[in-house]
């Protein structure tokens, strides 16, 4: 399994109607070059930001469409240092 660094999370835009669009790339660890292609995620923010339903409509290297349900597990405003 390869390790990847995901693109800049600031590329996520949430609109006033609670829809969201995220765009990003994937960079293999140890490399400075992103893989060809771009991820495009579309979503809806629910329950005051505690839940996001997301549809990955275009994946890096042509990955299939993926549907996800993300739920907040912490109120930490910044990324954790796992």
Q: What is the pLDDT along the chain (82 residues), one digit of tens a residue?
A: 456 666 555 567 889 999 988 888 878 888 888 877 777 888 898 988 888 898 877 776 666 677 888 888 777 666 666 6
Is residue 56 in some structural domain?
Answer: yes
The range of the structural domain enclosing residue 62 comes to 16-71
Q: What is the dihedral of CA 76, 77, 79, 82, to 10 degrees?
A: -10
Is residue 82 in some structural domain?
Answer: no
Number of domains making up the chain:
1
pTM to 2 decimals?
0.60
Is residue 44 in some structural domain?
Answer: yes
Is residue 7 in some structural domain?
Answer: no
Is residue 11 in some structural domain?
Answer: no
Is residue 60 in some structural domain?
Answer: yes
Is residue 59 in some structural domain?
Answer: yes
């Amino acid at each position: 399994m390869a390790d990847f660094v995901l693109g800049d999370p600031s590329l996520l835009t949430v609109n006033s109607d609670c829809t969201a669009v995220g765009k990003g790339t994937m960079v293999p660890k140890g490399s400075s070059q992103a893989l060809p292609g771009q991820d495009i995620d579309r979503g809806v923010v629910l329950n005051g930001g505690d839940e996001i339903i997301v549809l990955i409509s275009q994946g890096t290297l042509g990955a299939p469409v993926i549907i996800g349900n993300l739920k907040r597990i912490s109120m930490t405003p910044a990324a954790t240092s796992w």
